[in-house]
Amino acid sequence: MRILVVEDEKRLADTLADILTENKYLVDVAYNGEDGLDNVLSGIYDVIVLDVMIPKMNGYDVLRKMRNEGNSTPVLMLTAKSETTDKITGLDCGADYYLTKPFEIDELLACLRALLRRQGEIITEELSFEDISLNLATCLLTCDKRSVRLSSREFEMMRLLISNKENIIPKETLLLKIWGYDSEADDNHVEVYISFLRKKLAHIKSAVIIEAVRRVGYHLGVNRP
């Protein structure tokens, strides 16, 4: 799951990014409203964490513009403003939740989980497909009693593949979701990590395979005897 943090206080933004990364989210950071809106409109994010008082374009305007563009990504607004009228303005602009600074990290994480649930993301400890399971807390990929730990990008790629099961995931989607909007990664990066995952599936002796659909993308299948 990929989150965009739009916050001009660099120390706070980078701290939030570190905390969210530790909690298994993929995170991008924008330090002003114009860059934030540009990233938002890429459509690759599951949740936006948006400050109100940011340079070049304030959070309210970012929110209005993204909603006017038809972008329905959930938005958690962060602000030092605690007046009821400010909260009403944010909610009327299209915010899904409003968190006042200072806030507890546990509260922020709980808000994010709630927003993801509203999107239809099922918050569980484990995902499974055929004979494999992926532990979302430990990044362990398991088949029977055999398991292997995945790197952060391997983990996110496998999470996307299992979540979509037999549905084809385009290469472009994997690139954007895993490497981000501003990354210089290309198709070769996707192919390398697909190769890593295939080797790890073989290592734990799983019947699950990752099938390529030429010029389209990848999906999970089963190598049945």
All structural domains of the chain: 2-118 (3.40.50.2300), 126-222 (1.10.10.10)
Torsion 29-33-34-40 (CA) sign: positive
Residues facing residue 77 across a β-bridge: 50, 98
Distance of CA 147 to the CA centre of its chain: 24
Kindly state the average pLDDT of the residues 12-16.
90
Q: pTM to 2 decimals?
A: 0.63
Rounded Cα distance between 187 and 193, Å, is 10
* Poorest-pLDDT segment among 19-33, 49-63, 100-114, 196-210: 100-114
Rounded Cα distance between 161 and 168, Å, is 8
Angle among Cα 222, 224, 225 to the nearest 5 degrees reads 160
